[in-house]
Every structure is written in structure tokens, then in C-alpha cells.
Chain A
Amino acid sequence: MNEQHPLGPLVRRWSRHSSLTPSDRDAIIALPHVRKTFAKDAYMVREGQRTHECSLLLRGFAYRQKLLSNGSRQIISIHIPTEFVDLQNGILGVADHSVQSLDRCEAAIIPRDALLEIAARRPALRMAMWIDTLIDASIFREWVVNVGRRDARTRVAHLLCELVVRLEKIGMGRDGMVDFPLTQEQLADCTGLTAVHTNRTLQSLRKDGLIQLNARSLTVLDWERMREVADFDELYLHQEI
């Protein structure tokens, strides 16, 4: 029955992080929540907003971003179903960045008090929630490295590898092919490049037979070489737990 429940995927992910008792699982399923649908490019949270809710992505893709005073944008992470897109905004009280939908998506909006309460009462859930935040932090560290010290080709390839591996982990890949929700401009904002540079880089990855990229889908054709080009080591995703 949990299979169909909107919070079922959260049960499955947290079960990977920590050993949950049946009553821990029931407590997750019993979390109060509201399902909300967002149109493409809608704001789920705006920087500066005070919020006491956390959004768990059920369907579709979302991204976190910050706008600079000079008007440029940096995308700081991409989120896929079963992930919290703004645990930090709910828990820390004020959004330090914005969250936007990449396509039409659906989220379960959970009051932070309910989440903090199950975390306080149930050590295994507290541990699972913490591991979620730690993995997020680890991914941010890798993104700092990516924009700070890798060249354009490596940056873009790295981001593509990361998305494929994360999507495959939640069963959203089919033979190395995944849905790819980003425009070239958004890809540029993820990697600190210009859209033109990103376009050239994608062309070169295509020409070298590493990837196939259509309007909505991405396939990595040669994983071994792609990993090397991308300087990609998935240790930082901590997927073994």
C-alpha cells in the first residue's frame, strides 16, 4: 500500500540511509502534507521568503538558484523526484535562495514542525534526514570544484554524468537514457559558462561519440570515456548508503 502513497518514495529513500522499523515507516506515511502542482518555471520558494514548510518533489524536476546583484544567475543544484528541494528553507526559517520548477512538477508540501517532530522522536529518521542534508552538502562541494577548477568541457560532462547516475539510482533511467529537462541556457547557469560556450561544448561531446542529446532525452554512449572526460567519480553522491 505504501507503493502508491505519495510519501512512499521518501520511505524508500530513508530506508537506504538508516534501518527503519515498521513504526518509523508508518510515521513517515502519516506526515501531514498537501500535494501541489507547479507549472513549468514556477517559483516554489523565493529567496528571502519566510517559510515553515518543506517540499518533497514527487514528479518532475526543479532547481535551486541565486540571482546576483548584476542580474546574472547561478543554478546551484538540480532536483529529481523523491528529493527535498528546500529542507533548509523550512528548517532555517528564511529562504537563502530560490527554488523553481524546470518542468511541470508535483510536490508534497510538509510542515516543518511535523518533520522536526518525527526527527526528534525517532532517532532512525533523524539520522536519515541528516544524511540527506549531508549528501546535499557533498554535492554542493563538488559543484564548487566543478565551476572553480574544471574546464568547460569537463564541467558540462560532469554535470551530465551526475544527472544520469542520480536518475538511474531512482529507477528513472532506461539503458543509459534519461529525461533531460535543461535548456542550454540553464546548463550554462549550472556550470558558470555562457550559453554559446555550453552549446559548443555539447557539440564537441556529441561529435566525439560520448553522448546523444535530443530535446528531452540524454544518453551516455560511452561511459568509460565519458567518466574520464568528466573527471567523474561518484563517491561524492554517497549512493552506497
Chain B
Amino acid sequence: MTSPEYAFASLLRQLERHSVLSAEDRQSLLALPYRLRRLDLGSYLVREGDEPTHCSVLISGYAFRQKLTGAGARQILAVCLPGDAVDLQNIFLDVSDHSVQLLTRCDVADVPREALQELALTRPAIGTAIIAFTLVEASILREWVVNVGRRDARARVAHILCEFAVRLEARELATGEGFELPMTQEQLADATGLTSVHVNRVLKSLETEGLISRRRRYIQFTDWRALQNIGDFSRRYLHMADHDVITQTY
């Protein structure tokens, strides 16, 4: 269970990854007003078509972005981790173009939209960091287009497991050995454009081949390098390296 302090500190670290913030910038981010809520699994933080009044920071638990097609099929677009601001995009876009739903029971901090607008407009370094942060999200989405567009089922599932592991580790929410996957096989299927039967088969084959081992939802990496190869996984698109920091202040 993580605390509001952890979540906002984590959000701050994510922003600082891309921009140099002053002590005042940091203070004003940490001083954002918020209201805490505890929500059950399956609750919506925002629905497609909503006109949001606040932006939610995930304090504990996991959420996912999704869209429904006209035919009723669901596509999961991203998994949000503790410390993520899940609808930062709605600070300046008036209508939400997708929904965010909770994967687990969550604590969230709702920050009023106006407070974030003011922060982004009056603090250039934070504004720039938020732009860079959005660009990284877009980069991850491009990789997802590639994943569902041109990889086979095995590579798709391996890729998403690798991505989740690396993101969790960067937030110090998991060690390199494995993690508790907060998704059902059906949700994994919706994230990879597959059926849940197919996902189940792929997970079994990855296990049989000694790449992962599973205890309930805990996934352990028994051969991390081979799993990355199968998933065609390279972490460049996550932009976690030092050269991605904008070091100059403007």
C-alpha cells in the first residue's frame, strides 16, 4: 500500500526525469490541493465523452485506459501504476477520448483541473516536463500499435510482460525477479488484441519452455533475456535513460 506522499513524490520523479525543476517548482507540485477517495475494483475514474473537472493521481492500486468499439469489443490502451496521473491529458482537452477503469481497489487523489492548469501555465519547467511526459506516453502507445499490429501472439504477451516489469522496477514497485500481475487473462487479451483462450495458451507455453513461472498471478522471470528476445523487447521507447533529460533550463 502506498501513501499520498509516495504517489506525489513518484509523480515528481517522473517529471524530473525530463526536466530540471527548481525547489519552488517541486514545492508547488507537492502543494497541489487534492481530495482523497477510495474506489472499488471496476470503478471508472473517467468515462469517454466526460468533461472532467479534476485529474486523479493513483495513490495505490492499478488502473487501465480503455476504449470500446462500436461492436462492443474492448481494447486496453495502457496500464496505470501508483504515482501515475491518469488523466493529465484532460487538463487542456475538454472532453475525454477514452475511459479509465480500476484494475484493483484504489486510493486516488483528485486534483482540481484549474490548479493543474495554473501550475502548467505559471511554472515553465513543470509545463515542459509535462509535455515531455506526454511524449513518453505517446511513445509507449506507438509501441502498442506495433505490438498488436505486427507481432504474433507469443511476442505480444511476452512484450507486455517485459514492459510491465521494467516500468514497475523503475518505480521500485517490483524487483527484477517478478511481479504480481494485476490483470486477468481476459484483460491481458484485451491489451494484446487476442482472445483469453489464446493468452492462456501462450502463458502456458512460456511456462513450459522455462521462461516464466507462475503462482496464481505472481509471474517470475526464469529466463529474462530469452523472454525479452521472444517479445522483441527493447526499452528504448520507454525513454528512461539519462540522455532523455532536458538539462538546460530556459
Contact = CB atoms under 8 A, between A and B. Distances in A.
Contact of A68 (B130, B136, B190, B232): B232
A110 B223 CA distance: 44
Given A74-B146, A147-B148, A141 B95 contact: no
**Interface on chain B toward A: helix, strand, loop, or mixed SS?**
helix
A87 B69 CA distance: 29
Interface string A110-130: 000100110111010011011
**Interface on chain A toward B: helix, strand, loop, or mixed SS?**
helix
B145 A143 contact: yes
B127 interface: yes
A59 interface: no
Interface string B56-82: 000000000101011101110100000
A91 to B, nearest CB: 6
Given A74-B145, A74-B149, A74-B150, A140 B138 contact: yes
A96 interface: yes
B93 A69 contact: no
B142 interface: yes
A191 interface: yes
Contacts, number: 180
Given A96-B139, A149-B69, A231-B69, A140 B94 contact: no
Interface residues on A, range: 35 or more
B131 interface: yes
Interface of B: 18, 48-49, 65, 67, 69-71, 73-75, 77, 89, 92-95, 97-98, 120-122, 124-125, 127-128, 130-132, 134-139, 141-146, 148-151, 190, 192-193, 232, 236-237, 239, 241, 243-244, 246, 248, 250
Interface of A: 48, 50, 64, 66, 68-70, 72-74, 76-77, 87-88, 91-94, 96-97, 113, 116-117, 119-121, 123, 126-127, 129-131, 133-138, 140-145, 147-150, 154, 189, 191-192, 228, 231, 235-236, 238, 240-241
